[in-house]
Chain A
């Protein structure tokens, strides 16, 4: 794909998805610039996951469009988006549980290197796949779990692996859906640190969904607050933090 650097890496135009009466995503226009870390916050059920589902074409929008580097990718299959560099992680861990942590990564790396279709070459003798997988393991501090089944590692590591799979795809834009959900409070910070480090090191653009304000403010360039499927406010972390409306709705402060 020819990349036009003048275009926004991601842009949505009037995205809309209703579930019956529920306006899960209601006319969302979002822009993401290359290199930024954008956080999307909002209370439970405000439509954050649905928005990511629409962008990554997990579900089809009722109306609206998604542009990746200016190209309309609304109807692209997720596998095609992944190849082009638009990848996502999942709020509810979504791994290959019956495969080892290493195998999980190798599948993603082989896919990224365009070798996943090869039926007769030896996977284990492919040094490039192994090398890159080991790099990712190390980057996310999962090396000691390499040979453990993904279904058997602790929840915190599973969340990290879910994100690591995205990085194994060598992405340009990464959408992370609550990368620390379900992780114990004491573990949240270290998990987030591992992810943040990777984002900076691999120089990817990131959209991170969180509903915990404190976790996101530290490292985002920009924050978008959602409420009932709509963008309620957007701006610099400091400004959003001061925003009365956001404080009331998102953090429940009065």
Chain B
């Protein structure tokens, strides 16, 4: 089984590397954005699918990451402007972790719907702040984002968004996915699952449930921050639209569509959801109607998400061991 995974991984990597050479430029850009959302969704799922906490406000962290990058690039900073993507990522990780720690400490006292709604409250407050503090945030227009340097190299402007940055995003994606994989398969990952299954009993077998919920929350916040930070240079502009209840809802959809109880579920879900969304947006202004209908269709046909459905099929095919 293990060699099969490795072969699949190598084929996948090769495919991902040559793809930008064969598909239209625009799609390379779309693919890069999709990967940013995949990171966001993957992080969200350690909270949602793994720990059993449903947040309706996670785009807060997408925004924190994106605005951190834009803010550190502002011309007003003069010689202190930061263009190194690695430093910008680090800054986004720090800000999202700090905000995640603060907001999380308040939210994790609650579970279920209350947890979801408090998070929604926070993203709404943040959205309002982005609009109102326009001298810092640029208000509705937001802030411009310039081309960062990657590993100390400033790549040509013309092909940055449609070609070269894709590889950077892909590399970060692979790293954070690997890290998440390790977390899922660690004792800590099992503890989070135990908390999801039965928070009361988890406490009675010696797991400090509150602290672990907070840890999961902060991890998911950091992943949101990384997704937002990578997305900002791709978009060239950050605006309050990135942190709304809609973008918060999107990530829930991605997880449900892809399968929240499967490691790859959120990644598959992000690809499916985002690409479905832009395809539908292309040919009709009623895109949200169609998207809603297709979401309902998917949830009814694949209640465990695409990956949940696939993995039960695989198990039937390979026998219980798969």
Q: Which residues of A contact B (CB under 8 A)?
A: 56, 58, 77-80, 82-83, 87-88, 90, 94-99, 103-104, 106-108, 110-112, 115-124, 126, 129, 147, 165, 168-169
Contact = CB atoms under 8 A, between A and B. Distances in A.
Contact of B186 (A82, A87, A112, A120): A120
A83 B207 CA distance: 9
Given A96-B194, A99-B194, A117 B206 contact: no
Nearest to B179: A120
A56 B204 contact: yes
Q: How large is the interface on B (under 10, 10 to 19, 20 to 34, 35 or more residues)?
A: 20 to 34
A116 B194 CA distance: 11
B185 interface: yes
Contact of A95 (B190, B201, B206): B201
Given A119-B183, A120-B182, A96 B204 contact: no
A103 B185 CA distance: 12
Contacts of A147: 320
B200 interface: yes
The binding surface of chain B is classed by DSSP as helix
Contacts of B200: 58, 94
Contacts of A117: 187-188, 191
Contact of A119 (B188, B196, B203, B206): B188
A117 B209 CA distance: 11
Contacts of B188: 116-119
Contact of B206 (A83, A96, A122): A83
Interface string B201-220: 11111111100000000000
Contacts of A119: 182-183, 186, 188-189
B198 interface: yes
A111 B204 contact: no
B206 A116 contact: yes
A123 B190 contact: yes
B209 A79 contact: yes
A121 B193 contact: no
B216 to A, nearest CB: 10
Given A94-B198, A99-B194, A99-B197, A110 B204 contact: no
